[in-house]
Chain A
Amino acid sequence: MADVVIVVALLLVAAAATCAVLVRDPVRQALVLAVLGVVLAVLFTVLQAPDVALSQLAVGSALTPLLLLLTVRKVRRRARQEGRGP
């Protein structure tokens, strides 16, 4: 039973990670990364490492996507300004 759960968690991680590579739009990538963080947290919990799972949940699915989204917003704003011209 435990083996089945581990295999399912591993497959979910592989699927989410592949998605994160295949998605090319940075905004969508941030969302996929957040999902990947949650799935990785599930895997770590299943493998009895709750400490690492908590770190992964906090950093991987909250902090990193947030920093990515803020960066995308800054870059897009600058592009819009440049399009308008000085």
Chain B
Amino acid sequence: MTRGIRLWLVAAGGAGLAALLVAACLDLPRFGGDRHPYGDRAVRAALARHTANTVASVNFDQRAFDTLGEMTILFAAVLGCVVLLRQTRDEHRARPAPEPVARPVRRYALLVLPVALLTGLYVIAHGQLSPGGGFQGGVVAATALHLLYLGADYRALERVRPIGLYEVGDAIAACAYLVTGLAGLIGGTAFLANTLLPYGTFNTLSSGGTVPLLNAAIGMEVACAVVVLLARFLDQAVEIESLTGIKTPTDKERGK
């Protein structure tokens, strides 16, 4: 394909896309209008099942199957990272020497760490009541742990973060989501249907049927996945060194 044809192809495709987008935008409801047909239905369904946070109700009740897909994507992405960033045969681990940390940085990190961790856990636990939920809280809790790397050093972080446990936790949480869905299939009506548990009192921690359970499973899954992901990146950035430099392995070294 020559350069001219490629340019024409891009121009034609781009013009078509632009025309379709403009046509779609002209038909959109006006910004800030007071008619929200989907919102009204979602809020009604959420209130019927005593879930105070409508977004949590959409995520873990009305569209729980979508969330299963998203969780699987995160799981697969982290699995791919773990495989790609493993230690290969021509690399070795060098223990990083402890480095001095500026006093203000150390004080700030060690002060903020428990607050941030608690905030993350709070956001997970109150996902069905207030904005937030398993995903947001999980990321906050997981990144909070890494303040220890800023405030102390890499070894201190490794000590509070046995990576095997987090990998197991990631898998267990993903399974917990599936098992809760299957329980709906066996004990109730359909896969991931929120008909199994009592809906409880509105605006309390245990309200919403299976919503708090699925929310907690997602929180654990995301927190473990982010810790594993960051651990692999940190391993590569701090510990793993290439032995051979630019030398590429020959066929004999590859074992052929």
Contacts and interface: CB of A to CB of B under 8 A. Distances in A.
A54 B226 CA distance: 16
Interface in A46-86: 50-51, 53-55, 57-59, 62-63, 66-67, 70-71, 73-74, 77-78, 81-82, 84-86
Range for the number of chain B residues in contact with chain A: 20 to 34
B245 A86 contact: yes
Contacts of A50: 131-132
B129 interface: no
A82 B143 contact: no
Contacts of B247: 86
Contacts of A55: 135-136, 139
A72 to B, nearest CB: 9
B44 to A, nearest CB: 18
Contacts of B237: 70-71, 73-74, 77
B241 interface: yes
Given A81-B245, A86-B245, A70 B143 contact: no
B55 interface: yes
Interface in B220-243: 226, 229-230, 233-234, 236-238, 241-242
A70 B234 contact: yes
A71 B233 contact: yes
B231 to A, nearest CB: 11
Contact of B136 (A51, A71, A73, A82): A51
Interface of A: 50-51, 53-55, 57-59, 62-63, 66-67, 70-71, 73-74, 77-78, 81-82, 84-86
13 contacts: A50-B132, A54-B132, A54-B136, A63-B139, A70-B230, A70-B236, A71-B237, A73-B238, A74-B236, A77-B237, A82-B246, A85-B245, A86-B244
